Structure 1
Amino acid sequence: MLSLPAFRQEVRHEFDRILQYWQTYSPDRQDGFYGRVDVRNQPDPSASRSMVLIARILWTFSLAYEVTRNPVHRKLADRAFAYLRSRFVDPKYGGVYWSVRADGFPEVTKKQLYAQGFALYGLSEYYRTTKQPEGLAEAQKLFRVMVDKAYDSKNGGFIEAFNQDWSDTDDYILSKGPLRKSMNTHLHLIEPITNLYRVWPDAEVKKHTKALLEEVFMEHIIDPETARMRLFFTEDWQARSPEISYGHDIEASWLLYETAEILDDKPLLQKTKDLSLRMATATLEGLNPDGALTYEYNPETGHKNEERSWWVLSEQMVGYFNAYQLSGKQHFLEKSLKSWEFIQKYLLDKERGEWYLRTDAAHHASIDADKITAWKCPYHNARACFEIERRIGRG
């Protein structure tokens, strides 16, 4: 088995390799960052630019500068911040657009809470690293409009999406049909609101951080019997889907514990620790002999999505390591190491850089899938490498 110092060294090398790829191939010479780069690293200058992708680039290079103090990383974080601020922030209604055209003009102007959350994640990390007051100011404005326009004061949590002017819509691209709340959006709301609380310990930010953990996740999203997350909900939190998303479950197992750590509430921290370990243990049902989690499973139909996804492998590497740290159980460490072994063997594009999007169950990589898209970004894999290095470094 790979030693912890060797594990740390290998993921740090991969962290640097990921950053090198993105600093080489993602910046558009004209403005901002490309919205699409193919598997041969050729950009599509005409592709739309997604808020989710730009926010994840902002988060990644902000984190990178904190770690490396490389001025190139600072320059790219500044570039991403300027691009987000000038092209994606809605000056009339507040919040951020879902996407802009390649020329920077608004394209999809709806207010998707998933995109608001990632913008907040990037902005708060940018301020955390650079201490630029403009970064915090933009994060504060975004948080306030999210709470003012999208918070459900009656049932808790946040409504999934709105029209540009924050009026009601029935277009929920991350939810099923007319359902107004989802696990995925709330997972990527607790993540940035927690990050904002790190840099701005405001009472209202703390209130929403704690409410998302205790009321939304512990009372509604996580099934108390199975320790798995339900995926889609009505406005009053009636679950409406049977699917199991193993990748999101293992991701949430460590992100929710991180939230409890930052809140620094000892009883809540112990409660979240117990839950985190239950969640990590529950995912073992979906773990394949090759060390990769099944992407998704529907117990009602028996349908199983057998793809091995780059982002799921990233999150399970961290989630199982977190479970090892919390429990001291060696088998969790072995599963984290086996995740890394799978990544190295099947997902790394050692010739052209970055990772393949997925493999099938027979480990055939998606050699024709784009390297950069609205959803293929540097956040899951760079963060996973950083987290493992950090956790081994602190013992």
Structure 2
Amino acid sequence: MQQAILNKEPKNMLRHYSALYKGELLNNILPFWMNHSKDELNGGYFTCLDQAGKVYDTDKFLWLQGREVWCFSFMYNHIEPNKEWLNMALHGADFMKKYGRDELGNWYFSLTAEGKPLVQPYNIFSDCFATMAFASLDKAMPTDEYKQIALDTFNNIIKRRNNTKGLYNKSYPGTRSLKNFSLPMILCNLSLELEHILGKEKVDEFIPSIIHEVMDVFYHPDLGLVLENVNEDGSFCDSFEGRLLNPGHAIEAMWFIMDLGKRINDEKLIQKAKDIMLHTLEYGWDKEYEGIFYFLDLKGCPPQQLEWDQKLWWVHVEALVALAKGYALTGDENCLRWFEKVHEYTWNKFKDEEYGEWFGYLNRRGEVLLPLKGGKWKGCFHIPRALYQVYKTFEAI
């Protein structure tokens, strides 16, 4: 595999990948969601789509509604001002505005097709992606209302960041108080999404604390790995939660950190993030069947998650983004070698040649486990964002 890359002219290879990823985004992924997810009767989007795009469940999950609003408004802002994309984003945003929040401004986790609350607002990621959605939509069609929704929701996230589930938290207080990596990871990206609303100075103030949380609290240099849960003081907790590794989260976070490093012109931070990303990828790669494990236990104990050995779509496409950015920002050819390896696995295993879009869930051997194209966790987000990031990153080189 290394020899195959070395025999290629790098610029031609990057040009090929850039065109391939752009074509897949514009000709396959976005049309699939445009054609199948729009709820013309009630507003918002259906995300529970089977292999062919047929709706198999009508519940609406607010974090996926927000992700799809973000996706189509982002593409409108960054590729071309396509009115169909903007209208698709507005369609979802109108539904979210009307039904998505409780009286305190917290975003529910799920609603019925008509917009009646199903699950309480326990999950702060509904709020995170609502913030991203309305911030992005405000760039496409600036209004005081969109700005205020994004700002109010962001401020609510900051208030809740130390106890994200609030009264819905099942943990008994004081016995094993752990910090989780997910929110600091997302805040890396969210802060940049909000810059036109918060202002450059506010974001510049915010960035160091986020970088510290990711790189000094959850990253443990003695392991060379990012932990998913740590004690309040950042120390290791020898428990199911404390031993948990989520290679996809760590890899995704490292491209967020690389973006922040580029913004603040910190070459050492970029190099460090690239090195952590490569080490995590090597650690999480299945040496027997290929692909990246979903979860691992730091000590090799049986993971609590029964799905630990599955191969998931988002893990692999986020790795492709991180590798593309790692190469673009550092010139490290290991990133390019790994990119081709992960690319071959991802495009051969996840892409559905028959019905379009990509599968989300494979078993350890790389066989399709569930043929769905969307559900409670998979929507219109990781794949289109990754295709965009890769094509733009390589195009710039």
TM-score interval (norm. to shorter):
0.7 to 0.9
Query: C-alpha deviations, 1:119-163, integer Å up to 9, x for none?
Result: 11222222233334432221111122223x314xxxxxx322124
**TM-score, normalisation: structure 2:** 0.86
What is aligned with 2:333? 330
What is aligned with 2:100? 88
What is aligned with 1:128? 139
Structure 2: distance between partners of 1:324 and 1:78: 36
Structure 2: distance between partners of 1:239 and 1:87: 41
Counterparts of 1:139-158 in structure 2, within 5 Å, are 139-147=150-158, 149-151=159-161, 158=162
CA contact (8 A) 1:35 1:44 kept: no
What is aligned with 1:292? 291
What is aligned with 2:189? 191
CA contact (8 A) 1:160 1:182 kept: no
For the pair 1:244 / 2:245, whether they are aligned, the reply is yes
Structure 1: distance between partners of 2:87 and 2:178: 38
What is aligned with 1:10? 20
For the pair 1:349 / 2:359, whether they are aligned, the reply is no
Kindly provide the amino acid, as one letter, of the partner of residue 75 in structure 1. Answer: N
Query: C-alpha deviations, 1:195-229, integer Å up to 9, x for none?
Result: 11255316444433331222x11221111223321
Kindly provide the amino acid, as one letter, of the partner of residue 150 in structure 1. Answer: R
What is aligned with 1:274? 271
Q: Which moved more, 1:240-249 or 1:310-319?
A: 240-249
Do the aligned partners of residues 57 and 42 (structure 1) sit closer, same or farther apart at CA in structure 2, a change above 3 Å counting? Answer: same
Kindly provide the amino acid, as one letter, of the partner of residue 120 in structure 1. Answer: T
Query: C-alpha deviations, 1:21-63, integer Å up to 9, x for none?
Result: 0001111121211142222322135x32111110110111111
Structure 2: distance between partners of 1:18 and 1:84: 23
Cα RMSD (Å): 2.3
What is aligned with 2:393? 391
Give aligned pairs, total. Answer: 371
For the pair 1:23 / 2:16, whether they are aligned, the reply is no
Do the aligned partners of residues 382 and 212 (structure 1) sit closer, same or farther apart at CA in structure 2, a change above 3 Å counting? Answer: same
What is aligned with 1:102? 113
Following superposition, the deviation at residue 271 of structure 1 comes to 3.8
What is aligned with 1:78? 90
Kindly provide the amino acid, as one letter, of the partner of residue 52 in structure 2. Answer: R
Query: C-alpha deviations, 1:297-356, integer Å up to 9, x for none?
Result: 113244473322111110111111222123312221121122222222111111111111
Following superposition, the deviation at residue 109 of structure 1 comes to 2.2
Query: C-alpha deviations, 1:1-38, integer Å up to 9, x for none?
Result: 47111111110111111101000111112121114222
Structure 2: distance between partners of 1:371 and 1:222: 33
CA contact (8 A) 1:113 1:159 kept: no
Q: 1:69 aligns with which of 69, 81, 102?
A: 81
SS of residue paired to 2:245? coil
Structure 2: distance between partners of 1:329 and 1:202: 31
For the pair 1:37 / 2:46, whether they are aligned, the reply is no
What is aligned with 1:155? none
Following superposition, the deviation at residue 114 of structure 1 comes to 2.1
Query: C-alpha deviations, 1:174-213, integer Å up to 9, x for none?
Result: xxx9755311232123321231125531644443333122
**TM-score, normalisation: structure 1:** 0.86
Q: 1:201 aligns with which of 193, 196, 199?
A: 199
Name the % identity.
Answer: 19
Kindly provide the amino acid, as one letter, of the partner of residue 360 in structure 1. Answer: N
Unaligned runs of 5+ in 1: 152-157, 164-168
For the pair 1:307 / 2:272, whether they are aligned, the reply is no
Structure 2: distance between partners of 1:56 and 1:354: 17
Structure 2: distance between partners of 1:318 and 1:238: 30
Structure 1: distance between partners of 2:286 and 2:328: 22
Q: 1:232 aligns with which of 229, 247, 255?
A: 229
